Amino acid sequence: MPQHIAIIMDGNGRWAQQRGMDRIMGHKAGAETVRRMVEECVRLGIPYLTLYAFSTENWNRPQYEVEALMRLLSSSIRQEVPKLKENHVRLNAIGHLEDLPQVCREELEEACRLTAHDFSLTLTLSLSYSGRSELKYCMRQLAQQAADGTINSQDIDEQTISKNLYTADLPDPDILIRTGGEQRISNFLLWQIAYAELFFTPVMWPDFNGQHLREIIQQYQNRERRFGKTSAQVQQESLSQAQK
């Protein structure tokens, strides 16, 4: 089973427009999908689910859409806390959270605090997030530490970088899914997806369901993750692993 699934939840707006509805209705329907996917991941025993909910670039959308998304975020978080606790889900958030409206941030912090104990799934919402800005903050932090003399530039390795990202306490994603038909990364988890298996589906996020997710996991299980090695090496390794 994959340990960490990351999803670029795309297609809400088109889903609504195809039905002659306002884009906001698509976001509302998308919020329902989030609930279903969280429940599915709990059922499947997946320990980490990370969702791209709002990118740094999404601040450039029309003001009414941004405001509606922020309102939806606050109300969903508030509403979902009991269900999250019941399902043993810990809420976590990454991104430049200082950009969010004060109320959103307070709701979010409160929900993270209330769900911090007794969990089997860590649900991470990426909010005002972009991979490049995450790397920028990481580099600034490391440059400051080097200037202060608390680290030596020679000692900065890949682990140091991973530990200075928003995702410091998350494993790298095994699977990255993008719904909505586009085949791009849109600035999501640039460092962390170095070896993720990528899946692109034309299904719009509001229509994405447990069956779709289980099919992707099945395909993932049939892929050979070689991490640069040859197929023969990988097979030999899993053979000796099985013999242990």
As annotated, the active-site residues are 10, 58
Nearer to ligand IPE, 48 or 52 (CB): 52
Residue 62's contacts (CB-CB under 8 Å, 6 or more residues apart) are none
| Part of the chain binding ligand IPE (CB under 6 A), chosen from 80-88, 90-98, 182-190, 223-231 | 182-190
Q: Does 71 bind ligand IPE (CB under 6 A)?
A: no
93, 108 in Cβ contact below 8 A? yes
Q: Does 10 bind ligand IPE (CB under 6 A)?
A: yes
Among 19, 83, 184, 223, binds ligand IPE (CB under 6 A): 184
Residue with tokens 């405001």: 67
| Part of the chain binding ligand IPE (CB under 6 A), chosen from 80-88, 93-101, 162-170, 180-188 | 180-188
The token pair that represents 51 in the structure block: 């969702």
Beta carbons within 10 angstroms of residue 20's beta carbon: 7
Give SS3 for 129.
Answer: strand
Question: DSSP H helical segments within the chain, as ranges?
Answer: 12-18, 23-44, 63-86, 102-114, 131-148, 158-163, 210-222, 231-243
Nearer to Mg ion, 10 or 107 (CB): 10
| Part of the chain binding ligand IPE (CB under 6 A), chosen from 11-19, 114-122, 143-151, 165-173 | 11-19
Among 2, 4, 6, 9, binds ligand IPE (CB under 6 A): 9
Q: Does 54 bind ligand IPE (CB under 6 A)?
A: yes
Nearer to ligand IPE, 15 or 48 (CB): 15
Nearer to Mg ion, 64 or 195 (CB): 64
Beta carbons within 10 angstroms of residue 230's beta carbon: 9
Amino acid at 239: L
Amino acid at 209: N
| Part of the chain binding ligand IPE (CB under 6 A), chosen from 52-60, 90-98, 157-165, 190-198 | 52-60
CA neighbor of 212 nearest in space, from 11, 17, 54: 11
Binding residues for Mg ion (CB under 5 A): 10
Q: How far is the CB of 209 from ligand IPE (least distance, A)?
A: 17
Tell me the number of residues near ligand IPE by CB under 6 A: 17
Among 4, 5, 13, 164, binds ligand IPE (CB under 6 A): 13
What's the rounded Cα separation, in Å, for the pair 125 and 31? Answer: 12
The token pair that represents 118 in the structure block: 């007794």
What's the rounded Cα separation, in Å, for the pair 8 and 173? Answer: 12
Nearer to ligand IPE, 34 or 87 (CB): 34
Q: Does 173 bind ligand IPE (CB under 6 A)?
A: no
121, 129 in Cβ contact below 8 A? no
The token pair that represents 218 in the structure block: 């099945």
Q: Does 12 bind ligand IPE (CB under 6 A)?
A: yes
- Contacts with ligand IPE by CB under 6 A lie at 8-14, 52-55, 58, 69, 180, 182, 184, 186
